[in-house]
Structure formats: structure tokens, C-alpha cells
Amino acid sequence: MTTPVSLKRMHPNWGKRIAVTLSFVVIAGLIVGLIIFRITKCEDIDEPSVRSPDGKWVVQSTTKACPAGLLSVTNCAVFVTLASTPTTASAKTGPVRIFESDGSAEPPTITWARANVLVLKVADVGEVRVSKHEFADVTINYVVPKWLLDNLSNIETDRVQQDKEAEEIHKAGKMSSDDLRISLQINQAYAKELTNSRQWILENASLERDPANDPLGPK
């Protein structure tokens, strides 16, 4: 009877070959993913446009969804434009961006309080880059639900507690100094976003449940 030759004797470098093959597969996958990522374009999702009561102006809200990386899904931003309609006697105006927020996935709700008073109800605040209060003869008011401002405050309180817990874990020897530094840096960056969002609300918007300041009136 012939004794079978061992796999190791037949292929002394089989382990290296498999490793090289797997490396090529991984690299090829990354290249394909990078190509797909580069050719994938941002998608603009338009909400139904809203005309002013007198028909002079039209408002359009758009959500822009863009690939954010190979391992993440999308980065969303919203913007709102204002333009005069073709029926307007004066020259065509716009579209002009009156509101833009990066990191928001929910577009503002658009209503007209009067023919020249526009109200944007913002229920998701990211990094607000543009927020005009007037354009031409149109006044633009912003309304934010009270729960959104409350949530921002609660998240800030939780972040402070997380920092304290991380420092306690580090003191107990269960977290390295580098890990603590990275954790605190991430929390600080997030805290800056929260602070900016809260500050924008306080300076630019009225709370929905405040009848005295809500341009839409009591709820």
C-alpha cells in the first residue's frame, strides 16, 4: 500500500500562498469599494414646494444625502431655498438658500403665517451654516420644539457624566492615558456641536410651546 504524502510535504508554502491570496482578495475588495464610493453621487431629495398665499414666492426644502465613507452610510444635510415665481411682476429672484444645516436628516416644516412671513419649524438641528431672517420683502421666523432644546441639555449632562466615569476608570488603572485622552477629545468635539446647536436655537428661534414668542400662535 502506498503511504499518502502529507499536505505539508506536497505544498511546503501553502500557508504563505493562502495568506497572499487573501491579501489580494482584501485589497481588491477595498479597491472596488473605493471605486463604488467615488462614483456614487450625492442624492438630493426634494420635498413638495410651498407657495406664499399671494403666489409671489415659492419655498423648496431639500435633503442632501452623501456617501460619508466606505464603512459608513451617509452624511445628511438639509437646505431651504426661496425664489420668486414666474408670475411675479418684478425680475425673477433666486433660488436663494435661506437655511442650511449640516448633519441634519429631517428638513424643516414650511408654513406661511402671512403672504410675506415665512415660518420654518426645525425639528433636527445640526451645524447651522445659513439662517436668514429676511430676504427681499419676506420675513423668516424659526420655530423649534421645546423637547429638542431639552434633549440637547440632557445630552450635555450625560456627556459630563461620561467624562467623570472615564476619569474614574483611568484612576482605577482600567484605562490607559492615551485612551482617556482620546475619549475626552471625542466628547469635547461632540460637546462643541451641542453647544453650537443650542446657541443657534437661543439666538435665532422661538420655542413652539411659548405662545408669547411663537409666530404661529398658541398650540
Each residue of 173-203: pLDDT tens digit?
Answer: 888 888 878 877 777 777 777 888 889 999 9
Q: Has residue 96 got a pLDDT over 90?
A: yes
Compute φ and ψ for 128, nearest 5 degrees: -75, 120
Instruction: Report which of residues 206 and 12 the model is more confident about.
Output: 206
- What distance in Å separates the CA atoms of residue 126 and residue 147, rounded to the nearest whole number? 15
Taking residues 112-141, report their average pLDDT.
Answer: 93
Name the region of 61 (left: φ>0; alpha: ψ -120 to 50; beta: rest).
Answer: beta
Query: Which of 149, 170, 167 minimizes the C-alpha distance to 159?
Result: 167
What per-residue string of b and e applies to 102-117 under the rule 16 or more CB within 10 Å gives b? Answer: eebeebbebbbeeebe
pLDDT digits (tens, 9 = 90+) for 34-77: 444 444 577 888 899 999 999 999 999 999 887 765 545 567 88
pLDDT score of 136 more than 80: yes
The pLDDT confidence band at residue 7, using thresholds 50, 70 and 90, is very low
Mean pLDDT for the stretch of residues 75-96: 80
Q: Do β-strands 127-131 and 96-102 pair in parallel, antiparallel, or remain unpaired?
A: antiparallel
- Separation CA 99–CA 79 (nearest Å): 5
Task: Tell which wins on pLDDT, 212 or 102.
Answer: 102
Residue appearing with cell numbers 419676506: 138
Task: Please say if the pLDDT value at position 169 is more than 70.
Answer: yes
Query: pTM for this one?
Result: 0.66
Q: Measured between alpha carbons, how far is 27 from 14 in angstroms, rounded to an integer?
A: 20
> Higher-confidence residue: 115 or 25?
115
Region 20-40: what's the mean pLDDT? 49
- Give the span between the Cα atoms of 26 and 207, in whole angstroms: 51
Looking at every residue in the chain, the average pLDDT score rounds to 77
Q: Which single residue is written with the C-alpha cell 436668514?
A: 132
